[in-house]
Structure 1
Amino acid sequence: MDLLLEPFTVTFVGRAAVAGMLVAVTCACAGTWVVLRGTAFLGDAMAHGMLPGVAVAALVGAPLHLGAAAAAATMALGVTGLRRHPRLGGDTAVGLLLVGMLALGVIVVSASPSFAVDLTAYLFGDVLGVRPGELGLLAVVAAVTIAVTAVGHRAFLLAAVDERIARTTGLHPRAAQAALLGLLTAAIVASFSVVGTLLVLGMLVAPPAAAVLWTSRVVTAMTLAAALGCAAVVIGLLVSWHASTAAGATVAATAVALFAVSLLASLVRDRRAATTAAPSSIEGTVPA
């Protein structure tokens, strides 16, 4: 038990665990919709598209989260606007904005003689360096995300299934789309300082992807995704502590590993179900 509990008696590791769990809950709410709607590429693009905002914020001495939020919001608005063009597909809009935002970010960083932006922390995060004030921000983001998810559940579900049905029931699918993009933005901005932009997609997609293999109910999938995300945080921090590996990367890798285990288990379940059903169907047939 000492091997399991000892790391979390250290202040910064315990703080990292709390921060990671708050990120897991936030990512579970937003990431479940990302998985169900098949928009993982959009999440990845928004995560990488924050670079110019973070770079500018670092250069002028502003909070990095503020710059990240501004860049992510710009990305979301740009994707929404370009998707309305009849000749441009969603992936085209996302790809163009991703390249443009990354290029702008690199230009801003290269133009700085002091290279004030710590790209390593931006790309890979610093979960062990989370400060008490950041815990408060993560808690607020998690609470708001849960509240918006609960209030907009019906609209999000209908918009994901069929926008025409959403319109006929008096809902506004465009408003639902905007709210979903807002949830995605909040999850990414809140998570990048913990696991970094390169690894945020792991927390955003892996736990929900593992969860949807076991249930068709959205709320159940979100709850299971949050539990898997929290498990990934705890296991990842333990492995990182004892193996002396990068904490953020280990957490993200653990989340992906849990998905792999869930996938294998679901395949075994499906094979057993098919094997059990096969004799029954044979026994129920009448020879010609």
Structure 2
Amino acid sequence: MTHGSTYYESRGFCIYCGETNNLSDEHIVPYSLGGVHVLRKASCARCADITKKFEQRVSRDLWGDARAAFNAPTRRRKERKTHIEIQDRKNVRNTLKFPVGEYPAGFVFYKMTKAGFLLDLPDDLDLTVHWQMSVIDDSGRRERFLEKHPDNLILKFRHVPYDFGRMLAKIGYGQILTSLDPGDFRPVCLPYILGTKTNVSFVVGGSMDDQAPMDIGYSLETAGFGSLQRLILVATIRLYANTASPAYHVVVGDIEGEENVRRVMQKLELKEGTGNVVLGDHGDKHWSPVKPF
């Protein structure tokens, strides 16, 4: 994906359901997380409402305090909190208030196993029970805060793994659509985005390994594997990539038939090796499949 703000032209219909009326722009990475890549006129009002709800549960419930503390983008700047309130651990009847710029609120991420699809598991086997929470914060700010308030560092958030997974699926789907048209592939991840299927861990996964910080805000890449008879499309994702944030992957869709596969490979600039499609220039192989195709 390109660096900096980029707009991709509309297909003339909703990328989620095919509706052609009342279309709005769709940020691939949510604006609230710093997303600057936009699919123009890509979502109808109904589907925009669906994606907005789970994105808001991540940005407000999981990352609300952290986004305020680190002045993340918001469309409601006048409503942004100026202080973070926590319960006084020495006196539970008291509420303490700290300026958002001083409080070391952390971003809670989920470290994930591989997507169930890549492990050849049934699509109803929920792997979210194996996801582990990981907190990323400003260590310097944390140390300064603890020097002043050693007993009152409390991280507040709501556990939203289902919404987090749906957000990743939506980001991965949008990433693929920067190069392909919706009709180029079968969108395996789409039912999980729209909520008609609920086991999002079947198409969304990641790496348990620690990742090195990058020099960009987020990283989105497209890769494929399989054969010339069937190609599986995978999007890889790093959010807040300038930190040690986890690496994720989304099984976005598949293509069948050699003619169709070759056409998609050409669009994506994927390379062919000994009859199989391999990663292009993307070096992160954490999602490499278990089952052969």
Greater RCO, CA 8 A, separation 6+:
1
The structure whose residues are more often strand, as a share, is: 2
The answer, yes or no, to whether TM exceeds 0.5 is no
Normalising by structure 1, report the TM-score.
0.26
The structure whose residues are more often helix, as a share, is: 1
Normalising by structure 2, report the TM-score.
0.26
